[in-house]
A = this chain, B = another copy of it.
Amino acid sequence: MAEDIADGFELDARLAGDCLILGKLDCSLLLLMNNALVPWFILVPVTQATEIYQMPEEQQAQLLEEINLLSDFINSEFSIEKLNVAAIGNIVKQLHLHIVGRHSSDFCWPGVVWGAEQSEPYSDAEIKRIKESLKIRLKGRIKMN
């Protein structure tokens, strides 16, 4: 499915295993970490760079704009108090940006989600609801299968 959306761009196997592919924005693939305990989205810009500062300036600006778009989406759709936005990549080298909605009652607050082991997969109904919200709110910005 990643290949259908991103014209042959190869998604890292671990990301593909842990996440659901939601669609493609101008710059990035949009993934959902399959952990319903927090709204945890991941942008994977179509690049071979492994650090943001190594991307061409124009692509960086596009990525920033997509981070903003998702930040606004998460803030509108979920009950959150804070966003955590991060490029880490110590394990998965393919550049990817975590955008995670956090709430003071969530499973690992105030700690970070990276390294926290608790997880609960989404139900089909929850995934359907998220996809429908994305279609409405990101209309014209996201290509979905």
Listed in ascending order, the chain A residues whose CB lies under 8 Å from chain B are: 50-53, 60-61, 64, 67-68, 71-72, 75, 82-91, 102, 109-112, 114-115
* Residue in B closest to A51 when the chains form the complex, CB atoms: B83
Contact B71 A64 (CB under 8 A): no
Minimum C-beta distance from A127 to chain B (A): 24
A103 to nearest B CB, angstroms?
A: 10
- In whole angstroms, how far apart are the Cα atoms of A80 and B80 in the complex? 34
Q: How far is the CA of A111 from the CA of B90 in the complex (A)?
A: 8
Give the copy number: 2
Do A84 and B86 form a contact, CB below 8 Å, given A68-B52, A115-B115?
A: yes
Residue of B nearest to A110 (CB): B90
Give the interface centre of A72, A102, A114 by most chain B CB atoms within 10 Å: A114
Main secondary structure of the interface of A (DSSP, over half): mixed
Chain B residue nearest in CB terms to A85: B87
Question: A110 and B84 in contact (CB under 8 A), knowing A64-B60, A71-B53?
Answer: no
Top-6 shortest CB links A-B: A86-B86, A53-B71, A90-B110, A53-B68, A85-B87, A112-B114
Q: Measured between C-beta atoms, what is the minimum distance from A5 to chain B in Å?
A: 24
14 interchain pairs, CB-CB under 8 A: A51-B71, A51-B75, A51-B82, A51-B83, A52-B85, A64-B64, A82-B88, A84-B86, A84-B87, A90-B110, A90-B111, A90-B112, A111-B114, A112-B115
